[in-house]
Structure 1
């Protein structure tokens, strides 16, 4: 079931991005639908499904780390293996976009325009940065779960609320950045609870959903938090950038409801065709996720360059909505082509090396997260032009600190 939920969550994210980003003859309007249609904001409670991915991640990381402990695999070896699985597909994306930015600037495109395009294409990297942070602390969080149970989650949620109080109270987004780790690491614990059978009964699943619903209603209805769980231009603060405590309660609501379907979903997934599709999607799921907005930026830029062919429809008009399936199919075809080219990086060969010193994969993770965090918010280009440091930092970190195999031991 975790494979299906992972694939389903990423599919919803991809279709959501392809829908909420409006494109017209003037180019890309980030979050155009949300900005122009306030009625769509409550729908983000359904389509903001990143919490489901962290739920699945908690379940999978719990299995992985416990297996490593039984086999005597240390933290350094375990973390390096996780970095190889998630970091290798990232390298071609960063290098391709670095080259694209150089070409666009050399062709005379303004730095502001290139910044928008690169920032839009690299939106998926904020999630990868947050997820890598959570993976780095997952073993320690599992110890907290095994020792303190539900209190380990409650403590994290309370701490996230305190961070929000400081951040919102002072008007400092930077003060809210610790919640990228605190909120997602705390919610990640529910994956451990699911793994250990602590969410096995229908009563507990509904109770979890109820706590999430009540918490969201109070925070949004009485607090300063907006309805939209995805950043919208009209909101004074964002629930997702930086991550707010509301995302933890959204995750509780979604996790409780999703887990009520566990039994029928498990039976359905026993069908050979359904399971085959699930396995195929998961084999390239990170590549699909990382490249789907690059496909959208490429298609949109081409259509604008050709005079706005197919972009004359007013966003949110009935005809615009009617043509969304065609838009999705075009982007799906382009993304599929990118997956065929770059998907092989998602299947690294076995790593025969002995376990590294712990500090080496930790340093690599820091480099990856630092580079991705900056690019997710600012792209690769600033007012002064190209800044190659941030896209190269993850690549250099993975190479220098031993996550990549030496040339004589090809990893892909």
Structure 2
């Protein structure tokens, strides 16, 4: 009979993953893990990863406010981007930090999966739990946005600005859609890493290079979307290596240096955009679709972060920063999902109530406007996070141990539904409703089948998911 482990509510979130409470501490890079070995942070928590989560979230929220250029034009809300200004794309080399969160996710997934495996939890059950934590918070978010946009439409509010806000809120969900793939792949990648080590990450990055070569040789940009798999799983694999204690300072230095050389060489080819993010971008970027340049930038970020780990951890373990991290990090999933609501509200008031368009980008007026908006956003976002953080924990009925087919069906429905919401936005019409319905259906599939003993199918599962824990 399969043993079920229930992670505590203060465990890691899917969007900004953290090891569950009570888990063994992550190994310290540069040392071989051994009996009794613990992280400098308190047991079960690596504050280095908490700092990276917080850094990513701060930069994500700030760029969603600072990058759009909005105005009330004759045809409704006019939209542009700061990145359309010559040279402004240089900012994206700092603001594009999503590789770091996939790295953090890899470390968190390793410790979570191994902890569950040691307790006899099958891969399907582990995947189901991660999917619940990933998808459940989207349900109330989508419900609020869909209800609000329909009510605004019925109230006579102009459709175009509402559609812009709802579309931006939907695009934020791209990360969750990709992270479904990461969750499903983790039980496959872990045993591969145990056997082949760094060669797994190298193989994924080689796949990204092959995709780029095919894309540029054929001129078909659609081929580039295969790098959603290779780029993001490659950076995630670096997190698995970190969690296993294989990413030590010397190797981290080599990773950062190699990534910097690769970025420089690739940019000199002239094939790649200087823009590293697709956030309100008005042109092609290295994020849509992901490219080998983005993977190389991720290698630089991860290597540099690990080299600085000792100092980051020493600062984060001080009482003041530790209290801040402990209070904020459990709400970062909520902030990520809901922050576009206050961003849209402040932008709408600015443009339609006060009649203030975004000033000319990269000017003193633009800087003052951005700081004023940021000051208004902080309390609104904090208050909203406190109100909606309750939605991070799935309700009790979403429990159980599904078998292989139900777990894979749940992943397909959740990932597909999130993809629909990304493409259609969280606005009016039937398409967003269908996307939300697919997410809800996927959540229901994560439960065990009623009246059926939910276990993995032993033989086929070993082919697809190495490292299965058999039911006892």
Q: Scaled by the length of structure 1, what TM-score is found?
A: 0.89
Q: Distance in 2 between matches of 1:106 and 1:166?
A: 48
Whole-angstrom distance in 1 between the partners of 2:56 and 2:106: 15
Match in the other structure for 1:315 = 361
Q: State the alpha-carbon separation in 2 of the partners of residues 312 and 156 from structure 1.
A: 41
Summarize deviations over 1:142-199 as a string: whole Å, max 9, x none: 1221111111111111112222233344444433222212211111111121122222
Contiguous gaps of at least 5 residues in structure 2:
1-47, 451-472
Provide Cα deviations, 1:361-392, integer angstroms capped at 9, x if missing partner.
3222222211222332342458x886521233
What's the secondary structure of 1:323's corresponding residue?
helix
The aligned residue for residue 296 of structure 1 is 343
> 1 CA distance for matches of 2:397 and 2:111?
20
Residue 33 of structure 1: how far off its partner (Å) = 0.8
Larger fraction in helix: 1
1:62–1:264 Cα change, 3 Å: same
Q: Residue 354 and residue 266 in structure 1: after superposition, are their counterparts in 2 closer, same or farther (change >3 A)?
A: same
Counterparts in 2 of 1:182-201, with a 5 A limit?
182-201=230-249
Distance in structure 2 (CA, Å) of the matches to 1:253 and 1:159? 19
Distance 2:91 2:139 in 1: 34
Query: Residue in 1 aligned with 2:374?
Result: 328
Aligned to 1:69: 117
- What SS does the aligned partner of 2:145 have? helix
* Alpha-carbon contact 1:111-1:381 (below 8 Å) kept: no
Q: 1:353 to 1:306 in 2, by over 3 A?
A: closer
The one of 411, 431, 443 equivalent to 1:398 is 443
Q: Which residue of 1 aligns with 2:255?
A: 208
Counterpart contact for 2:107–2:239, Cα < 8 Å: yes
Query: Structure 2 CA distance, aligned partners of 1:28 and 1:207?
Result: 48
- Show the counterpart of 1:33: 82
- Checking the alignment, whether the CA contact within 8 Å between 1:25 and 1:312 is kept in structure 2 is no
Looking at structure 1, the residues matched to 152 and 398 of structure 2 have their Cα atoms a distance apart, in angstroms, of: 41
Cα shift at 1:30 = 5.6
Provide, for residues 78-137 of structure 1, a one-character-per-residue CA deviation record: whole Å limited to 9, x for no partner: 112112222221111111111123223334456554432211122220011111211110
Is residue 187–residue 248 contact of structure 1 (8 Å, CA) maintained in 2?
yes
Q: Give the 3 Å change call, closer, same or farther, for CA 133–117 of structure 1 in structure 2.
A: same
- The Cα of 1:290 is off from its aligned counterpart by 0.8
Say if 2:225 is the partner of 1:158: no
List per-residue Cα deviations over 1:265-302 (Å, max 9, x = no partner). 11112212211111111111111011112211122223
Q: Which residue of 2 aligns with 1:98?
A: 146
- Residue matched to 2:104: 56
Q: For the aligned residues, what is the CA RMSD?
A: 2.5
Deviation string 1:231-272 (CA, Å, 9 cap, x unpaired) is 37554x321112222221110010111111111111112212
Question: Of residues 361, 365, 383 in structure 1, which corresponds to 2:411?
Answer: 365
Q: How many residues align?
A: 399
- Indicate if the aligned counterparts of 2:72 and 2:352 stay in contact, CA closer than 8 A: no
Q: 1:245 aligns with which of 269, 273, 292?
A: 292
What residue in structure 2 maps to residue 119 of structure 1? 167
1:226 aligned residue (262, 269, 273):
273
Q: 1:351 to 1:11 in 2, by over 3 A?
A: farther
Residues 380, 390 of structure 1: 8 Å contact kept = no
Instruction: Quickly say closer, same or farther: Cα 1:29–1:186, change in 2 above 3 A.
Output: farther
The question of whether the paired residues in 2 share the 8 Å contact of 1:176 and 1:243 is answered with yes
Aligned residues of 1:20 and 1:32 also touching (Cα < 8 A): yes
Equivalent residues in 2 for 1:342-353, closer than 5 Å: 342-348=388-394, 353=399
CA separation in 2, counterparts of 1:103 and 1:171?
Answer: 44
Q: 1:99 to 1:354 in 2, by over 3 A?
A: closer
Q: In the aligned structure 1, how far is the partner of 2:420 from the partner of 2:342?
A: 22
